[in-house]
Amino acid sequence: MRSDLIDVFINSREFKQKHCGVHRLAGFRGSDLAILSRYVPATLETEEGFLTDWLGIKHCLADLPFLAKTLSGRSFAGVPVPDDGFHAEAIEYLALFAALETAGESFTMMELGAGWAPWLCAGGVVAKRLGKKPIRLIGVEGEGNKLPLIRRHLNKNGLCPTVNFGLTTESDGVAVTLYHGVVNDGTSVKIPVVGIEDYGASLVSDSPFKGNDIEEVQGYHMAQLAENVSIFDLVHIDIQGYEQELIKAQVKVFVDKVKWLAIGTHSREIESFLIDFLPEHGFRLFRETPCNFSFTQKPEHMVDATNVDGFQIWVNDVLVKDNPF
């Protein structure tokens, strides 16, 4: 009954007039709010120099220059509908919690295109609260200047006191493995060097960063990253338009080992491909929000026309047993 009322509320004309000009609620259902509500902590601890998100996770403002300095010592409380106030919409949290609730006693996740690793951190923090053991977190990030941000973010939130890239660090039931590189066919690639405020370096388009310095980074195949993992409860992918090439070329690893796929999408072309391709390999579309785009003439790459990323959640029904969703 409560979820029915929420459905009516979020689909009401008044709610859409207030929120839907900026936020996309496609794929979000009233029953999802009950899932998100289960993870709201009783209290939030704030600290100067940090923004505390709704899960109680602290984000360093010095490492995230896109956030206003006026947010220092503040928190965003409450269920993140339509979003959390600064970096993610409700649908992304729904992917994490669906994976946690179908994970069993342990929890294993990977974040591809980790940035400052907000999803690795959220997954690890919440899994610890739920008492899951062991917890395994694997992150891959191509931009070298983001690596210190990952280390500081995980450390600040109690996930391994020291993190060494390319090695697995274990502490208090949590194992963290971080890679400086990209996921492709295993060959090294050259990507533009961007500032820590930018999160757009891409393997498919360098249009926003033409003229930037170039760095060469290692490529890793998914099979290599998953070699010592039997099952991933969640793989979160945000790789700036390369998601189609990755999933098409390495789909067997995802089919064999991944329960839930959370994919940031960067063009309608990519979204259409995923919707055609993944069901043929046993994945079911659970929720989705389409990307927003605009252009007056066809760009060099369709990724360049996207101004707000989309998001898709896929569940592998063969691997997820007794799925309540």
Q: Are 101 and 63 in contact (CB under 8 A)?
A: no
Give the separation between CA 97 and CA 233, rounded to whole angstroms.
Answer: 10
What is the enclosing helix (H) or strand (E) of 52? strand 50-52
Q: What is the pLDDT of residue 263?
A: 95
Asked if residue 197 has pLDDT above 90, the reply is no
Q: What would the pLDDT profile of 258-315 be if each residue is shown by its tens digit? A: 999 999 987 888 899 999 999 999 999 999 998 777 666 666 666 555 556 789 999 9
152-177 exposure pattern, b = at least 16 Cβ within 10 A, e = fewer: bbbebbbbbeebebeeebeeeebbbb
Strands 189-192 and 232-237: unpaired
Separation of CA 154 from chain center: 15
CB count within 10 Å of CB 286 equals: 20
Q: What is the pLDDT of residue 31?
A: 83
Query: What average pLDDT score do residues 229-258 get?
Result: 94
Which contacts of 41-49 are long-range, i.e. CB under 8 A and separated by 24 or more positions?
Answer: 44/75, 44/77, 46/73, 46/74, 46/75, 47/73, 48/72, 48/73, 49/73
CB count within 10 Å of CB 292 equals: 13
Q: What is the pLDDT of residue 47?
A: 97
Asked if residue 118 has pLDDT above 60, the reply is yes
Query: What average pLDDT score do residues 1-5 get?
Result: 50
Which has the minimum average pLDDT: 121-130, 202-211, 251-260? 202-211
Separation of CA 283 from chain center: 18
Which has the minimum average pLDDT: 19-28, 91-100, 163-172, 214-223? 19-28
Asked if residue 40 has pLDDT above 90, the reply is yes
